[in-house]
Amino acid sequence: MREKGILGGGIHVCKATEGKRCDPGNTGYISSGKFRSLLESHSSKLDPHKREVLLALADSHADGQICYQDFVNLMSNKRSNSFRQAILQGNRRLCSKALLEEKGLNLSQRLIRHVAYETLPREIDRKWYYDSYTCCPPPWFMITVAFFLYNGVSLDQFVLQVTHPRYLQNALVYHPQLRAQAWRYLTYIFMHAGIEHLGLNVVLQLLVGVPLEMVHGATRIGLVYVAGVVAGSLAVSVADMTAPVVGSSGGVYALVSAHLANIVMNWSGMKCQFKLLRMGVALICMSMEFGRAVWLRFHPSAYPPCPHPSFVAHLGGVAVGITLGVVVLRNYEQRLQDQSLWWIFVAMYTIFVLFAVFWNIFAYTLLDLKLPPPP
């Protein structure tokens, strides 16, 4: 980053050539006054929003010292939780106009600003994201998964109506008789229970998943999505043991539920337009799709003993969204390993996965279930 080079180099020079004055004890700290002077000398070369964040950093340290590593983490977009708390508790209020009030923005800038207000609850984070986002890399994960889902429609291979018995004769769908084939716990997302099921999942994935990936990155959003997918199929294997699974609802519901929970938890800070109406529409759409899945599961099959797919994967996705997903979305550019809640939820998820694995190995035999015939 240009600013990192400017200020990072400035501090390195300050430490190397004027060490006795800036950091006489070589402690890794410099005074807030020296840091402010450095900022002012390079203020014309900094984005105004980032200058505000750095000034807030200078004013937030009551002890008058700033850790050089805090500055490096900030400029490399790896802000620590301690830095975030210092900014939030700083005694300087950012008094410049809000990002929403800025005029003369081109189409791409307005899009980035819109995404910032859709996903981030704090103005200081919105400004930081607006200045930092470069669209490199683009939100490839959500778009790629959506492409493969649509590709199934065009090829007429992965998307089949569940009223036809051939829908189980696919190497991707999860089937309880084929649960030893581990890839099926993930690949079932590429097959859906009809075009309407596919359409709603893809729309939700693009409308919610793409903006989230633009802000939080493919790694974090992909992690939440895949965790929801795996949790969904494992939940079915534990709670609805005789049913197959199709559809990407586990991953989609993980993202949507995390996003909705983040909005509710930060209601006053979220500035997206018509948020109450949009939350209501999203909940209605999710409820209708979930209700359809429940109805389909218990509706008599036209081709017995060929069962309809389970709805429990939706619940597994929601559980991941309101735990792991919320921690990810609430900690924009914070190191997740610094969050105690993150490790608690990771431990819970790991315990559930291990429990489900042993359940699949032993429970089906011990319970002597009557499973549907293999496809």
Q: Are 207 and 279 in contact (CB under 8 A)?
A: no
In this structure, are residues 293 and 314 in contact, taking their beta carbons and an 8 Å threshold? yes
| Residue 66 phi, psi (nearest 5) | -125, 130
Q: Measured on CA atoms in the order 101, 103, 106, 109, is the torsion positive or negative?
A: negative
Distance between CA atoms of residues 19 and 10, nearest Å? 12
Sign of the C-alpha dihedral, residues 200, 202, 205, 208? negative
Q: Which residues pair with 174 in a beta bridge?
A: 245
249 is known as an active-site residue: yes
The C-alpha angle with vertex 300 and arms to 297 and 303, in degrees rounded to 5, equals: 105
The two structure tokens encoding residue 266: 């930060």
Write the DSSP symbol of residue 168.
Answer: G
Structure tokens at 78: 């790896």
Residue 335: strand, helix, or coil: coil
> Which DSSP symbol is given to 267?
T
How many other C-beta atoms are found inside a 10 Å radius of the C-beta of residue 164? 12
Nearest to 201 by CA among 190, 211, 215, 212: 190
- Bridging pattern class, strands 65-67 and 29-31: antiparallel
Q: Catalytic site residue 12? A: no
* Residue 167 and residue 160 in contact, taking contact as beta carbons nearer than 8 Å: yes
How many Å apart are CA 118 and CA 366, to the nearest integer? 49
Is 89 within 8 Å of 60 (Cβ atoms)?
yes
Cross-strand bridge partners of residue 30: 66
Catalytic option among 32, 233, 237, 249: 249
Q: State the catalytic residue, choosing from 61, 175, 216, 314.
A: 314
Name the residues annotated as catalytic: 249, 314
